[in-house]
Amino acid sequence: DTGVSQDPRHKITKRGQNVTFRCDPISEHNRLYWYRQTLGQGPEFLTYFQNEAQLEKSRLLSDRFSAERPKGSFSTLEIQRTEQGDSAMYLCASFGLNSYNEQFFGPGTRLTVL
Amino acid sequence: AQSVTQLGSHVSVSEGALVLLRCNYSSSVPPYLFWYVQYPNQGLQLLLKYTSAATLVKGINGFEAEFKKSETSFHLTKPSAHMSDAAEYFCAVSVHNNDMRFGAGTRLTVKP
Protein backbone atom coordinates (compact mmCIF):
# COMPACT_ATOMS: atom_id res chain seq x y z
CA ASP A 1 0.00 0.00 0.00
CA THR A 2 1.53 3.29 -1.07
CA GLY A 3 -1.04 5.63 0.45
CA VAL A 4 -0.96 7.74 3.59
CA SER A 5 -1.27 5.69 6.78
CA GLN A 6 -2.15 6.76 10.30
CA ASP A 7 -1.83 4.98 13.60
CA PRO A 8 -3.80 4.33 15.69
CA ARG A 9 -7.17 4.49 13.95
CA HIS A 10 -9.00 4.96 17.24
CA LYS A 11 -7.85 6.22 20.61
CA ILE A 12 -9.90 6.50 23.78
CA THR A 13 -8.26 8.30 26.67
CA LYS A 14 -9.14 9.94 29.94
CA ARG A 15 -9.03 13.68 30.39
CA GLY A 16 -5.60 14.85 31.40
CA GLN A 17 -3.68 12.06 29.68
CA ASN A 18 -1.20 12.58 26.86
CA VAL A 19 -1.71 11.00 23.46
CA THR A 20 0.49 10.70 20.38
CA PHE A 21 -0.57 9.96 16.83
CA ARG A 22 1.61 8.93 13.93
CA CYS A 23 1.31 9.67 10.22
CA ASP A 24 3.31 8.01 7.44
CA PRO A 25 2.99 10.01 4.21
CA ILE A 26 3.45 8.83 0.65
CA SER A 27 7.18 8.29 0.45
CA GLU A 28 8.11 10.86 -2.22
CA HIS A 29 5.89 13.61 -0.80
CA ASN A 30 7.80 16.42 0.86
CA ARG A 31 4.83 18.19 2.46
CA LEU A 32 2.76 16.80 5.29
CA TYR A 33 -0.37 18.38 6.79
CA TRP A 34 -2.39 17.83 9.96
CA TYR A 35 -6.08 18.66 10.16
CA ARG A 36 -8.71 18.33 12.86
CA GLN A 37 -12.27 17.44 12.01
CA THR A 38 -15.08 17.68 14.54
CA LEU A 39 -18.49 16.16 14.04
CA GLY A 40 -20.47 17.79 11.28
CA GLN A 41 -17.62 20.05 10.18
CA GLY A 42 -15.03 20.10 7.48
CA PRO A 43 -11.37 19.53 8.26
CA GLU A 44 -9.60 22.48 9.88
CA PHE A 45 -5.94 23.12 9.19
CA LEU A 46 -3.60 22.64 12.16
CA THR A 47 -0.06 22.66 10.81
CA TYR A 48 2.15 21.59 7.97
CA PHE A 49 5.73 20.53 7.30
CA GLN A 50 7.95 20.86 4.31
CA ASN A 51 10.47 18.10 4.79
CA GLU A 52 11.42 18.37 8.48
CA ALA A 53 10.58 22.06 8.84
CA GLN A 54 7.31 23.08 10.43
CA LEU A 55 6.30 26.08 8.32
CA GLU A 56 2.89 27.10 9.58
CA LYS A 57 0.76 26.57 12.64
CA SER A 58 -2.89 27.46 13.05
CA ARG A 59 -4.06 29.35 16.10
CA LEU A 60 -6.14 26.22 16.77
CA LEU A 61 -2.87 24.56 17.76
CA SER A 62 -2.65 25.49 21.43
CA ASP A 63 0.51 25.01 23.46
CA ARG A 64 -0.76 21.58 24.48
CA PHE A 65 -0.28 20.42 20.89
CA SER A 66 3.07 19.68 19.34
CA ALA A 67 3.97 18.14 16.02
CA GLU A 68 7.27 16.84 14.72
CA ARG A 69 8.68 15.40 11.55
CA PRO A 70 12.24 14.67 12.63
CA LYS A 71 13.63 13.08 9.47
CA GLY A 72 11.26 14.53 6.92
CA SER A 73 9.39 11.25 6.65
CA PHE A 74 6.78 10.26 9.24
CA SER A 75 5.24 12.79 11.57
CA THR A 76 3.83 12.67 15.08
CA LEU A 77 1.16 14.83 16.68
CA GLU A 78 1.12 14.91 20.46
CA ILE A 79 -1.63 16.32 22.64
CA GLN A 80 -0.73 16.88 26.28
CA ARG A 81 -3.25 17.08 29.12
CA THR A 82 -6.13 16.16 26.85
CA GLU A 83 -9.49 17.86 27.27
CA GLN A 84 -12.92 16.69 26.20
CA GLY A 85 -12.91 19.38 23.53
CA ASP A 86 -9.99 17.63 21.87
CA SER A 87 -12.28 14.77 20.85
CA ALA A 88 -12.21 14.78 17.07
CA MET A 89 -10.89 13.03 14.00
CA TYR A 90 -7.26 13.95 13.30
CA LEU A 91 -6.41 13.71 9.63
CA CYS A 92 -3.03 13.66 7.99
CA ALA A 93 -2.40 14.49 4.35
CA SER A 94 0.67 14.58 2.14
CA PHE A 95 1.52 16.50 -0.98
CA GLY A 96 4.18 16.14 -3.65
CA LEU A 97 5.69 18.45 -6.20
CA ASN A 98 3.61 17.07 -9.05
CA SER A 99 0.32 16.82 -7.18
CA TYR A 100 -1.35 19.99 -8.61
CA ASN A 101 -2.04 21.06 -5.04
CA GLU A 102 -3.90 17.82 -4.37
CA GLN A 103 -3.42 16.52 -0.88
CA PHE A 104 -3.71 12.79 -0.28
CA PHE A 105 -5.44 11.95 2.96
CA GLY A 106 -4.94 9.16 5.41
CA PRO A 107 -7.83 7.35 7.12
CA GLY A 108 -7.59 9.50 10.24
CA THR A 109 -7.27 8.87 13.96
CA ARG A 110 -10.46 9.25 15.93
CA LEU A 111 -9.77 10.54 19.43
CA THR A 112 -12.32 10.25 22.21
CA VAL A 113 -11.52 11.98 25.50
CA LEU A 114 -13.66 10.79 28.40
CA ALA B 1 -7.50 34.37 2.52
CA GLN B 2 -9.39 31.87 0.45
CA SER B 3 -12.58 30.20 1.65
CA VAL B 4 -15.48 28.10 0.44
CA THR B 5 -19.14 28.03 1.31
CA GLN B 6 -21.25 24.95 0.77
CA LEU B 7 -24.92 25.73 0.44
CA GLY B 8 -27.04 23.13 2.15
CA SER B 9 -25.70 20.96 4.93
CA HIS B 10 -27.99 18.12 3.90
CA VAL B 11 -29.26 17.12 0.46
CA SER B 12 -31.66 14.25 -0.12
CA VAL B 13 -32.40 12.76 -3.54
CA SER B 14 -34.11 9.68 -4.87
CA GLU B 15 -32.09 6.93 -6.49
CA GLY B 16 -31.70 7.78 -10.18
CA ALA B 17 -32.30 11.50 -9.66
CA LEU B 18 -29.89 14.33 -10.40
CA VAL B 19 -27.39 15.19 -7.68
CA LEU B 20 -26.43 18.85 -7.29
CA LEU B 21 -24.17 19.95 -4.45
CA ARG B 22 -23.34 23.64 -4.34
CA CYS B 23 -20.02 25.29 -3.59
CA ASN B 24 -19.01 28.93 -3.83
CA TYR B 25 -15.46 30.07 -3.30
CA SER B 26 -13.66 33.24 -2.38
CA SER B 27 -10.09 33.81 -3.48
CA SER B 28 -8.02 36.82 -4.42
CA VAL B 29 -5.92 34.78 -6.86
CA PRO B 30 -6.85 32.00 -9.28
CA PRO B 31 -7.68 29.03 -7.09
CA TYR B 32 -7.37 25.32 -7.24
CA LEU B 33 -10.70 23.73 -6.33
CA PHE B 34 -11.47 20.24 -5.12
CA TRP B 35 -14.33 17.99 -4.19
CA TYR B 36 -13.69 15.23 -1.68
CA VAL B 37 -16.01 12.49 -0.45
CA GLN B 38 -15.91 11.00 3.03
CA TYR B 39 -17.60 7.79 4.13
CA PRO B 40 -18.23 7.20 7.85
CA ASN B 41 -15.08 6.84 9.93
CA GLN B 42 -12.84 7.14 6.91
CA GLY B 43 -10.50 9.73 5.47
CA LEU B 44 -11.20 11.94 2.48
CA GLN B 45 -11.12 10.63 -1.07
CA LEU B 46 -10.64 12.98 -3.99
CA LEU B 47 -13.54 13.04 -6.45
CA LEU B 48 -12.19 15.67 -8.82
CA LYS B 49 -10.09 18.83 -9.00
CA TYR B 50 -9.91 22.04 -11.02
CA THR B 51 -6.41 23.23 -11.84
CA SER B 52 -7.08 26.00 -14.42
CA ALA B 53 -7.27 23.68 -17.42
CA ALA B 54 -10.78 22.74 -18.60
CA THR B 55 -13.61 24.43 -16.73
CA LEU B 56 -15.72 21.27 -16.83
CA VAL B 57 -13.99 18.66 -14.76
CA LYS B 58 -14.91 15.00 -14.76
CA GLY B 59 -14.18 12.89 -11.73
CA ILE B 60 -14.64 9.42 -10.42
CA ASN B 61 -17.95 7.60 -9.93
CA GLY B 62 -19.71 9.68 -12.61
CA PHE B 63 -19.34 13.02 -10.83
CA GLU B 64 -18.41 16.24 -12.57
CA ALA B 65 -18.10 19.90 -11.65
CA GLU B 66 -17.99 23.13 -13.59
CA PHE B 67 -15.78 26.08 -12.65
CA LYS B 68 -17.65 29.35 -13.21
CA LYS B 69 -15.44 32.32 -12.50
CA SER B 70 -18.23 34.87 -13.00
CA GLU B 71 -20.30 33.14 -10.34
CA THR B 72 -17.34 32.06 -8.16
CA SER B 73 -18.92 28.62 -8.11
CA PHE B 74 -17.78 25.03 -8.43
CA HIS B 75 -20.94 22.96 -8.08
CA LEU B 76 -20.78 19.17 -8.10
CA THR B 77 -23.26 17.17 -10.18
CA LYS B 78 -24.09 13.60 -11.07
CA PRO B 79 -26.88 12.78 -13.53
CA SER B 80 -28.20 9.74 -11.71
CA ALA B 81 -27.74 9.06 -8.00
CA HIS B 82 -26.84 5.63 -6.73
CA MET B 83 -27.34 4.32 -3.22
CA SER B 84 -23.57 4.04 -2.84
CA ASP B 85 -23.25 7.83 -3.33
CA ALA B 86 -24.62 8.45 0.16
CA ALA B 87 -21.77 10.13 2.03
CA GLU B 88 -20.41 13.49 3.18
CA TYR B 89 -19.04 15.74 0.44
CA PHE B 90 -16.53 18.53 0.98
CA CYS B 91 -15.55 21.34 -1.32
CA ALA B 92 -12.07 22.77 -0.80
CA VAL B 93 -9.94 25.59 -2.17
CA SER B 94 -6.22 26.18 -2.18
CA VAL B 95 -3.88 28.68 -3.77
CA HIS B 96 -0.16 28.78 -4.36
CA ASN B 97 0.82 28.17 -0.77
CA ASN B 98 -1.11 24.90 -0.72
CA ASP B 99 -3.06 25.87 2.40
CA MET B 100 -6.31 24.02 1.78
CA ARG B 101 -9.57 25.37 3.19
CA PHE B 102 -12.62 23.17 3.41
CA GLY B 103 -16.31 23.90 3.47
CA ALA B 104 -18.51 22.60 6.27
CA GLY B 105 -19.66 19.69 4.13
CA THR B 106 -22.91 18.47 2.61
CA ARG B 107 -24.40 15.17 3.66
CA LEU B 108 -26.00 13.41 0.71
CA THR B 109 -28.79 10.95 1.40
CA VAL B 110 -30.10 8.73 -1.41
CA LYS B 111 -33.59 7.34 -1.01
CA PRO B 112 -34.57 4.07 -2.69
**Does the pLDDT at position B5 exceed 60?**
yes
Record: contact A106-B43, CB cut-off 8 A: yes
Q: How confident is the model at residue B46 (pLDDT cuts 50, 70, 90)?
A: very high
* Cross-chain Cβ contact B94/A31 below 8 Å: no
Q: Cβ of B50 under 8 Å from any chain A Cβ?
A: no
Share of chain B above pLDDT 70, in %: 97
- Least confident range from A6-20, A31-45, B28-42, B91-105: namely B91-105
CA distance B82 to chain A (A): 23
Which residue is closest to A100 within chain B, CA to CA? B51
Residues of chain A with pLDDT under 70: 1-2, 98-101
Tell me whether A61 touches chain B (CB under 8 Å).
no
Q: Torsion angle, CA of B9/A103/B63/B39, rounded to 10 degrees?
A: -50
Q: Pick from B31, B29, B24, B32: which is nearest to B5 by CA?
A: B24
Residue-wise DSSP of A16-80 = T--EEEEEE--TT--EEEEEEE-TTS--EEEEEEETTEEEEE-TTS-TTEEEE-TTSS-EEEEES
Q: Which of A112, A98, A94, A110 is closest to A34 using CA atoms?
A: A94
Compute the nearest-CA separation of B112 from chain A (Å).
24
User: pLDDT averaged over chain B?
Assistant: 92
Residue B98 Cα, gap to closest chain A Cα (Å): 6
A43–B32: do the CB atoms touch at under 8 Å?
A: no
pLDDT at residue B1, as a whole number: 75
Q: What is the mean pLDDT of residues B63-87?
A: 96
Residues of chain B with pLDDT > 90, as a percent, come to 76
